[in-house]
Amino acid sequence: MRILIIEDERRLAHVVKKGLIEDGFAVDLAYDGEDGMFMAETEPYDLIILDIMLPKLDGVAICRRLRQKKHNIPVIMLTAKSNVEDKVTGLDSGADDYLTKPFSFLELKSRIHALIRRSRGESSPVLKIADLTVDPIKHTVNRNKHHIKLTPKEFAILEFLMRHKDEVVSRTMLIEHVWDYNFEGLSNVVDVFVAALRKKIDGKATFKLIHTLHGVGYKISKSV
């Protein structure tokens, strides 16, 4: 899943980015409101972490503009301000959640997972199909009660497929949501990762879950 952090405190932005990458997210950074607004409108993010006090364009204005333009991307607003009026202003602008600096990274991560789950209408934090279970918070994968070890990128691809189970997912969709803004990989990089993932998920199974639809993309489903 892909996240945009709009934060002018560069040290904080890089610390949060590092933690989220370690948790399997693709992460882009913007250090002012104008760049952040442009990226939010032109790239397909799954969630935005938005500071309220930004140069050029503040977080409240960004959030309001996104909502006015019918962008329903989940937004977590960050601020050094802690009074009730500031929280109300942030939420009224269209933010989905609110964290006051300094904050716990574990709390931020928990809220990110909760918002992504809520935005997709998922009731359980664990993703399931047939005998395959994926826990995005614990970063575990099990099939038929056997633990499967994945690389961070393999896990990110599997999570995206699971969140779109029974749907066709194109290579472009995977690149847009699993890799960041600076991705310049080879054209077959998705095929290579999916092949490795399929070997681990379906290699010893009695029936296959990851299917290739030639010329279209991939689908995780109990049937083609």
Q: Do 153 and 108 share a structural domain?
A: no
Element (H, E) at 189: helix 189-202
Q: Do 62 and 44 share a structural domain?
A: yes
Q: Residue 185 has what pLDDT?
A: 67
CB 198, CB 157: distance < 8 Å: no
CB 127, CB 139: distance < 8 Å: no
Q: Do 131 and 113 share a structural domain?
A: no
Q: Residue 156 has what pLDDT?
A: 94
Residue 66 phi/psi, 5-degree rounding, is -60, -45
Q: Do 145 and 162 share a structural domain?
A: yes
Distance between CA atoms of residues 1 and 10, nearest Å: 22
Distance between CA atoms of residues 125 and 216, nearest Å: 29
Q: Residue 187 has what pLDDT?
A: 66
Q: Do 73 and 140 share a structural domain?
A: no
Q: Which domain holds residue 196?
A: 127-220
Q: Residue 205 has what pLDDT?
A: 83
Q: What is the dihedral of CA 162, 165, 168, 169, to 10 degrees?
A: -20
Interhelix angle 105-119/10-22, nearest 10 degrees: 60
CA triplet 123, 124, 128: central angle to 5 degrees?
120
Q: Residue 102: is the preceding peptide bond cis (ω within 30°)?
A: yes
Q: Do 166 and 115 share a structural domain?
A: no
Q: Do 143 and 107 share a structural domain?
A: no
Domain of 110, CATH number, reads: 3.40.50.2300
Domain edge (last residue) among 72, 88, 119: 119
Residues lower than pLDDT 70 in the chain: 82-84, 185-187, 224
Q: How many domains does the chain have?
A: 2
Q: Do 107 and 91 share a structural domain?
A: yes
Q: Do 12 and 65 share a structural domain?
A: yes
Enter the pTM of the model. 0.85
Q: Do 102 and 22 share a structural domain?
A: yes
Q: Residue 186 has what pLDDT?
A: 62
